[in-house]
Amino acid sequence: MKVLKIFIILFLVTSFSGLKFAEASDVLKNKILKNVRCLICQGQSVYDSESEFASSIKLIVDRKINEGLKEKQIYQFLREKYGDWVIFDPQLNKNTYVLWLLPLLLFLLGGAIIKKKLKN
Amino acid sequence: MKNKFSLFIIVIFLSFCFVIFYKGLNTPNNYTPKINEKKNIPIFKAKVFNSDSYINSDEIFEENIFYIVNIWASWCVPCRTEHPLLMQLSKNESIKLIGLNYRDNFDNAKKFIDDFGNPYSRILIDKDGTLGVEFGAYGVPETFLINKNKNIIKKFVGPINQEIVNEIKLIIK
C-alpha cells in the first residue's frame, strides 16, 4: 500500500512538472509568434494569422523549441531565412542604425532648440 | 533674412517629401527578401514522392551540376502556367530539377504530373510546409537556383516566365 502511495505521488509530481514545462514552452512559443511578421498578410503577426505561411512558421517554431533552441536562436534562424523584416523588433545593425538613432538625434535637437529659446 | 531661411528650409523639406513619395510610387507594395549573399542549401530529410522512403539533402544535391528547386502544388493555378517552361528547362542536361510538392493531396499531385508531364528528376513531399520554410519560401510557386557549390544564388517568387528561363539558361551556360 505504501509503495502504491509513493507511486501515485511520484506520478502526480512528474505529470505536474510535465504540464508546467508544456505551459512554459507554450508561453515562449506565443511570445515568439507575436514578434514574427506574417510576410504574406497585411500587418499581421504569425500568431494572429491563419494563413498557410503562418501555420508552417508555427510548426517550425514549435519544433525548434522542442529541439531546445533559445528564443534568440529562433529569431536568428528566421532572420537567416527571411531577412530582418520578418521580426517586428528590428536589431541594431548597419541597415537600421538610422532608424534607431534618428529619434534620439531629433530629441537632442529639440532639446537644444528649447534650451536656446529659454535662454533668449 | 529669417523669412528667406524659413522658405529655404520649407522648400528643402517639401522636395525631400516629394522624392520619398515619388520613389514609393515605383516600388512594389509586397515584400520580397533580397538574396544579397549566397545562402547554403538547408540540411533536411524529406519523404520521396511515390515511395515510402526518406532522403537526405546531401544525397539529393550530390552531383556537380546546377539544380533548380521548384515549389509546386496541384491546387496552385500559377503552377500550371509555369509548368511548360519547367518542362523546357528539364531538357537541359546541365541542370536538374527538384520538385517540392507543397501541402498537397497525393492523388491530385500524381494526376497533375500525369496530365502535364514530369520535369523533375526527384519530387519531395512537403506536407506541412516546413520544408519550404527551410528554403526561405512563403508560398507556391517559388523557384530557387542552386549552383555547383551548393549555394542558393537566385530566388524567383511566383511563376517563372520566359525571361527568367532565359536568365537561368545564361547563368548555367
**What's the pLDDT at A10?**
75
Residue A18: the pLDDT is 63
pLDDT number for residue B87:
95
Question: For the sheet containing B45-48, what is the strand order?
Answer: B39-40, B151-157, B142-146, B66-72, B95-102, B122-126, B45-48, B54-56
Q: What pLDDT is stored for residue A64 in this prediction?
A: 93
Nearest to B129 among A52, A80, A83 (CB): A52
Give CA–CA dist B110/B119, Å, rounded.
Answer: 13
Instruction: Among A40, A55, A82, select the one facing B33 at the smallest CB separation.
Output: A82
Residue among B116, B115, B99, B89 nearest B49 (CA) = B99
Q: Using alpha carbons only, what angle is made at residue B98 by residues B95 and B100, rounded to the nearest 5 degrees?
A: 155
Phi, psi (degrees; rounded to nearest 5) at B72: -145, 165
Tens of pLDDT, residue by residue over B93-132, are 889 999 999 999 999 999 999 999 999 999 999 999 999 9
Which amino acid does the sequence have at A20? K
The grid cell for A57 is 512558421
Res B141: pLDDT: 94
CA dihedral B129, B133, A42, B104 (to 10 degrees): -20
Q: For residue B159, is the peptide bond before it cis, meaning its omega torsion is within 30 degrees of 0?
A: no
Which chain A positions have a beta carbon within 8 Å of B128's beta carbon? 55-56, 59
ipTM tops the 0.85 cut: no
- The model's pTM is 0.75
Chunked into runs of 10 residues, chain B (173 residues) has average pLDDT values of 86 93 76 64 91 92 93 95 94 93 94 96 94 90 92 91 93 88
